[in-house]
């Protein structure tokens, strides 16, 4: 019997806690405390972290900021996106991607995703671009890198700026290259769910030193290093404490990534025996992914109709960390608080069938489930098989 209905759980033991930490982080915090300067002005931690983070991604420079949302807002400013202009975003993403555009007064234009990789579909760009399109934001969803070859080439032809939303893709590579070597700005988040975290925080990778200096001024209340009040901006600086913890976490990151890669291979093998689900695909040119989320989509035809939210809840009751995927942007209330341009929800739903499907039938398993043992990931497949075998069928594919 399903744990959802009072039966025994597949597992009682919890998955590894996230984040992992020990006295390394304690000592880093004390080091930041005792150096006496707790801001980047005078302290050493923020600047050292920026160098280390840039190096991890083969970027010319990195700037640490308050969070991933602010990193996107700053990147849009650097790209020269003005109020009323349009920015192409994948319809399937965490809502912060489009909210950042709206907070600049610009219009996010949802674009459908690839049915296999769930990342922005480059083939869908032409149909939605206009002469007001200023930028495109590919999101490396779940840590899988979007088709950067096609998107960068398309943007180059159209004179459109590229901003990579890499909030889920720390350490990812494309054709063996770090995300900072792809010629565009990339933004990151260090919020507590991400694969590199200090509870909160963010960063930008910048393609050259001029852009870094411009970004530096803009994250510093618009004040240059020479203390000139150059532009109306805000304060997006992080404290030395955040950077000290990030540096300690960064030292753990390669080993964690290797562990997740091993566990993911085992998980994918185990899930391949479960009928009626399809795992997020990975473009072979995405040579490294941190596996932020393992996402699979329920095949409603093969399963005969199951309710996704019930599947996720049933998994959770069996002891597996699982939750429903992101709703497509146009199915959130946030999106319609605007600006949205002259478009209706039904139109976007029709234009983005793949985003609709992942948003409706997708289930996500967070990365800490990949930090334990082989047995831990095999339990996921065992529980999923149990849930999909025993859950009642609705008999119909849920309406869009």
Classify burial at 73, counting beta carbons within 10 Å of its beta carbon; exposed 0-12, middle 13-18, buried 19 or more: buried
- Pick 195 or 311: Cβ nearer ligand PLP: 195
Contact with ligand PLP (CB under 6 A): which of 45, 165, 361, 376? 165
Work out whether 73 is an interface residue with ligand PLP (CB under 6 A): no
CA distance 144 to 166: 9
- Pick 169 or 317: Cβ nearer ligand PLP: 169
Q: Which stretch binds ligand PLP (CB under 6 A): 63-71, 107-115, 274-282, 342-350?
A: 63-71
Q: E strand or H helix at 244, and its extent?
A: helix 240-271
CA distance 49 to 377: 33
C-beta of residue 341 within 8 angstroms of C-beta of residue 107: yes
- Pick 69 or 152: Cβ nearer ligand PLP: 69
CB of 172 to ligand PLP, least distance (A): 13
List, as one string, the DSSP characters of 19-44: S---HHHHHHHHHHHHTS--BTTT-S
Work out whether 169 is an interface residue with ligand PLP (CB under 6 A): no
Q: Which residue sits closest to ligand PLP, CB atoms considered?
A: 68
Task: Classify residue 371 by its DSSP letter.
Answer: S
Work out whether 202 is an interface residue with ligand PLP (CB under 6 A): yes
> 75: Cβ–Cβ under 8 A, 6 or more apart, which residues?
163, 185, 187, 204
Count of residues that bind ligand PLP according to CB under 6 A: 14
Work out whether 99 is an interface residue with ligand PLP (CB under 6 A): no
Question: ∠248-253-255 over CA atoms, to 5°?
Answer: 120
Work out whether 122 is an interface residue with ligand PLP (CB under 6 A): no
Work out whether 65 is an interface residue with ligand PLP (CB under 6 A): no
Contact with ligand PLP (CB under 6 A): which of 67, 289, 294, 368? 67
CB of 71 to ligand PLP, least distance (A): 7
CA distance 84 to 392: 48
CB of 364 to ligand PLP, least distance (A): 11
CA distance 349 to 112: 9
CB of 26 to ligand PLP, least distance (A): 24
Contact with ligand PLP (CB under 6 A): which of 59, 139, 145, 377? 139
List, as one string, the DSSP characters of 248-308: HHHHHHHHHHHHHHHHHHHHHHHHTTSTTEEEPP--TTEEE---SEEEEEE-HHHHT---H
Work out whether 93 is an interface residue with ligand PLP (CB under 6 A): yes
Q: Which stretch binds ligand PLP (CB under 6 A): 146-154, 165-173, 254-262, 388-396?
A: 165-173
Classify burial at 316, counting beta carbons within 10 Å of its beta carbon; exposed 0-12, middle 13-18, buried 19 or more: middle
Work out whether 68 is an interface residue with ligand PLP (CB under 6 A): yes
Q: Which stretch binds ligand PLP (CB under 6 A): 10-18, 62-70, 102-110, 371-379?
A: 62-70
């Amino acid at each position: 019997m399903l744990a959802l209905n009072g039966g025994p759980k597949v597992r009682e033991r919890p998955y590894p806690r996230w984040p992992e930490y020990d006295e390394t982080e304690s000592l880093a915090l004390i080091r930041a405390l005792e150096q006496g300067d707790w801001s980047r002005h005078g302290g050493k931690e923020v600047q050292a972290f920026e160098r280390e983070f840039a190096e991890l991604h083969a970027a010319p420079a990195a700037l640490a900021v308050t969070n991933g949302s602010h990193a996107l807002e700053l990147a849009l400013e650097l790209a020269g996106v003005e109020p009323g202009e349009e920015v192409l975003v994948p319809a399937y993403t965490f809502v912060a991607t489009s909210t950042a555009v709206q907070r600049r007064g610009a219009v996010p234009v949802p674009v459908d995703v690839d049915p296999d990789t769930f990342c922005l579909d480059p083939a869908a760009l032409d149909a939605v671009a206009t002469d007001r399109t200023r930028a495109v934001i590919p999101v490396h969803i779940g840590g899988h890198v979007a088709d950067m070859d096609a998107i960068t080439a398309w943007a180059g032809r159209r004179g459109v700026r590229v901003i990579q939303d890499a909030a889920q893709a720390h350490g990812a590579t494309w054709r063996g290259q770090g995300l900072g070597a792809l010629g565009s700005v990339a933004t990151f988040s260090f919020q507590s769910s991400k694969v590199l975290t200090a509870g909160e925080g963010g960063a930008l990778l910048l393609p050259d030193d001029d852009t870094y200096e411009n970004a530096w001024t803009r994250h510093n209340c618009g004040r240059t290093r020479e203390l000139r009040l150059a532009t109306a901006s805000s304060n997006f600086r992080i404290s030395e404490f955040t950077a000290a913890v990030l540096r300690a976490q960064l030292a753990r990151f390669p080993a964690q990534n290797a562990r997740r890669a091993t566990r993911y291979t085992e998980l994918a093998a185990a899930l391949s025996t479960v009928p009626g689900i399809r795992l997020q695909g990975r473009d072979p040119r995405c040579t490294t992914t941190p596996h932020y989320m393992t996402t699979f989509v329920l095949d409603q035809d093969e399963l005969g109709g199951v309710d996704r939210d019930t599947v996720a809840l049933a998994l959770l009751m069996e002891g597996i960390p699982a939750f429903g995927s992101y709703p497509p942007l146009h199915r959130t209330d946030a999106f319609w608080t605007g600006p949205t341009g002259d478009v209706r929800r039904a139109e976007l739903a029709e234009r983005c069938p793949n985003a609709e499907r992942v948003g409706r039938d997708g289930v996500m398993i967070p990365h800490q489930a990949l930090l334990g043992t082989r047995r831990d990931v095999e339990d996921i497949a065992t529980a999923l098989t149990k849930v999909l075998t025993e859950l009642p069928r609705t008999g119909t594919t849920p309406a869009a």
